[in-house]
Structure 1
Amino acid sequence: MTQDRMGNREPLDLAADRPVAQRPVAERAVADRRAALPPVTEPIAPATPEPPAAAAAAHDPVLANASVMMIDDEPILVELVRAFLEDAGYRDFRGETDPVAAMKRLRAEHPDVLLLDLMMPGMSGFEVLREVRADPQLKMMPVIVMTSASDARTKLRVLELGATDFLEKPVDPSELVLRLRNTLAFKVMRDRSNWFDVPTGLPNRKLMLTHTASTLRRASRRGELCALLQVEIGRIRQLSETLGHRAADEALRTIAQRIQRCVRSGEPIGRGAEDTSGPMVSRTGPDEFAALLPSLARIEDAAGIARRLLATVAQPMQIEGHDWYPQVSIGIAASPGDAGEAEALLRCARAAASSVRSRPGNGYGFYSASLNAQSLARLTLEAQLRRAIERGEFELHYQPKVASQTGRIIGCEALIRWRHPERGLVPPGEFIPIAEEAGLIVEIGTWVIGEACRAARRWLDAGHPGRVAVNVAAPHFREGRLLRDVDRALASAGLPARYLTVEVTESMLMSAADESVEVLNQLKSLGASISLDDFGTGYSSLAYLKRMPVDELKIDRSFVNGLPDDGDNAAIVRAIVGLSGSLGFEVIAEGVETREQAAYLASVGCGACQGWLFSKAVPEAEFASLLRVGTIVR
């Protein structure tokens, strides 16, 4: 916009469509932003601050970040428009004076809007517009035509060719800015409706497939695992027919929010459909949602999220004063295992969800038969694990701790076993991870502490006292229940606390060192001993270690392996033994399997050993027999 000294605004002739040879030289126009100005014939109100609409781009990041391309064969006019739009807040202006070259740029750059001159040598604006509308990638791009031709025939022709808007030259810069803003605002609304679901605000099926395709391409390059979860909601149609569409939309919004919370969705609003920075939740059908999970460490992680979705989404909700219970069926498809393309992956996930829906109740399933079998086995084991607590199917076995010099039994470590009614003894490595994921580990840990205390009391009553060590899981330590459970177990069994050792790991303590010191001090105040398990495998700070009220360090089996021939392990063991002596800790080595290992550990001052050389973990009665003998010599 230009003004005279009286503050009158003047329209700008953005190069009427005259032959190039007849256009005036305009070097001075660049300096004062004027080009072929017609005389001011009608004064306009004195200058006032720009109206909000005219400066909308400066305050709207969506508009300000929009890319604007102008095709006009007069370079000075392109630069003039650039200046006006930059003043208005637009940051991405791309000028092109050669329409043939411009078509190549359009196909490569896909600007948000095109400003197009009509009368250009070599290739007219009509031809450019025709090619733009014929190109599948460009046909939806807004095009604002600027020309001095004001006859109805020209206007009709450009509109028939698909022009979005039409500006006559000379063009007032304020009008240009306003029309550009309105065109872009409409494009944003159109894109939103094209890419997002209106009731839930989630990406729609089209955006989900675009995002999935990009994610799968990246995953293929990096060798990553992805999964697509198809979440199908039953009874939506029934809800709509009973309470109306508004009630159904309210339910869908609530479900969308629940799914997003479970998946921690990285919805790429404002980042474009090609963004693949994280998971995406989308609505893919009237009663269907999808959750894309990129960069999985293992396919079981997808099953974990599916279980979390079932527990959350299936919760009842209040809809217009009525309790409504969603029915949830989840299908899981994995890439690259099931499919490597977006459409195919969605079909697999839908097929899996359909299979789940055919069964009664809520549930989830994998497209792959083998994965379905694994998932079903794991789900069955979790259910059986819950019943095992109620049915008393757990038992403790005890592995002796032996004095290195004499072979005298100085205590034991309690190790849990699950005596499955059909499978027999299930190894801890198979059910402990499931217990942790299912939230059962604290309950199991409480039982272990209680049973170990009761066994130690029985040995004490039999005249063969032995200190028993119990392992504590991180959730038990963090949740603040450990002190209460230990206190209750000791009181219930009538066991003096000096016969109980609580084993904790380095990582458990160092994740919250100050809180850990407080908990350990409280345990020590009861009279229990503290053992630091797997020492040397974590990230202990010696400064923190000095603060920890620890009684014993356990040398991890990884350092015992190869002794005495492995020079590195031998050096580490000597260092741990020396550190323990300096800090006043007892030291015990676990995983001792050979006489040579035991002899070396005794020679460097390791006070006790534990491992198969002396005894495997045995049932209580068998350990009681070992206690009566008192020594194990190998």
Structure 2
Amino acid sequence: MAKYTSPLNADTVSSLTAPPARLGLQTKLTLLDIGLIVIVATAVGISTFLIRQQVQYLILALSVVAGLALVLIGATLLRKRRLVAVPIRQLMRAARAVGAGKLDVFVPVSSSDELGLLTHTFNHMTQRLFEAQAEVATYQRTLEEKVTQRTKELEVATAQAYKLAQHDILTGLPNRALLNERLRQIIAQAARDGHQVACLFLDFDHFKRINDTLGHDAGDQLLQAVAQRLTSAVRESDTVARLGGDEFVVILPGLDPDKTTFEIMQVITRVRESFLAPVRLGDQTPTLTCSIGVSVYPVDAADPGAVIKQADTAMYAAKGAGRNAYRFYTADMNARVQARLQIETDMRRGLMDDEFFLVYQPQVEMANGRACGVEALLRWRDPQRGVIGPNEFIPIAEESGMIQALGARVLRDACRQVMTWHRHNMMLRLSVNLSVQQLEHESWLSIVEDALVASGMPARYLDLEITESVIITHPENAVATLMKLKRMGVSITVDDFGTGYSSLSYLTRLPIQAVKIDQRFVRGLEQNKNDEAVTQAIIALSHSLGLRVIAEGVETIAQFEYLRSHGCEEAQGYLISRPLEEPELRAWWKMQDEESRIVGRQGDMWRQDRGK
């Protein structure tokens, strides 16, 4: 043990016991104070020694404990290292597999500590990734299937669109585009082989009338039936196309120049025969006829467009010949077609420029010769052609649709004029011709009503003349419309009676008040016994049904007397007066009125030919 050495050496004691150099007024230290100081110093020294000894022992103890702890920790870490290395290597291998795209891996969980939690989280992640991959694969398969399906649908739609672009939707026949393409190929082949090609242009007569009467659905069915019959009537090598509406084209390829006409006539005959049987549309069975124009390559034209155009021209010639006919193209047909087109163009201009005007042909009572009415007739004063009669422009007006505007103007102007005469005591009945197109038009009833209201003319003074063809072809439609006109107070007359096929069964059903004997029968009264027999039959039949009889086209006194003697009530014709414009009609009326006052009775005034 170390020797204890006192911290109080001689110098220290000397310094403590020595008196201060200068005490002044300070209190002097007593011996007691010095003693206390010595005791305290001694205690401090001893304590310091003891503390130093304890620290050395403590450091030694701590060193031993630390060494034991290090040994323990090393042993523990060595053990833990073996327990952690295996799961970590498993996680590393699994992670590399996931990185390579293999997501169906699973690492066993060998502990519940942080490493076990990490392993569990890793397994959960790979499971979710695997499920997500499966979902993506499912979506991809679905997408691929959708793409495949849409691709097929697109291919079908493209094929359908291509077909629609080249085929008529309603009938399935080639349309104008495909017709032109095929005709170019056929003509090119014919040019190489030295053959001829025929083009048949077909237009069905009065199709619009049938379509408007039976309805557009029935019209579509009719067009489909037409397509089927045409396809069945032609050869397998022929092409049937629909251009639009009721216009069809048949192309006959590869014709031997020596037999072209014969082969064309064979096809035309089969086509016409195919439409002899009526087409059944519900409870209706309309019969169709067609007008056919024919052109031949290279005789009539050298290119596809011209071949079709010349056939179209020939078709119009067939219509002009009375319909239900065929015509081969000739060079002079172009001039006639151009003339017709020019007339149509000039008519539209004339309608806008008020070039159309009315004339009035008087009608008289045969018993006393007194004027009872007038028939309003339309005329056209063309600046270049002069005055044109209705036979030249009315058919064009009907085909072009202008008849509606012309008919409405005729009715409006005529009603206004007759009402003006009424104000001057010229109490005349007004007769106006009514075409099939006008009768079928849905607005015609309102046009009649508007004309009466605007003019102020009572409906009983208006007489509408319809032809037998209206009754024959449209009986149900005619009855419905005419009944409405009758309820309005308008009277109905059957014009050109006896020229139709057979409408006698409808006379009892139609609300008609008069029958007009056609001028063809009147003209033959002096020459043909058959015409006399027909005229007597018409008068007798009409009277038995309570109908008034009017004879038109009376031109001689003998005709007048014959008709009057057999009971005909009224007459109209050049014997009485030609059609007159309004000023002339007023002058004619005044002359008749003066003669009536002088003679008192005009029954014999037609002994002289006054109208020619």
Length-normalised TM-score, structure 1: 0.48
Structure label with greater radius of gyration: 2
If each structure's helix is expressed as a fraction of its own residues, which one has the higher value? 2
Length-normalised TM-score, structure 2: 0.50
If each structure's strand is expressed as a fraction of its own residues, which one has the higher value? 1
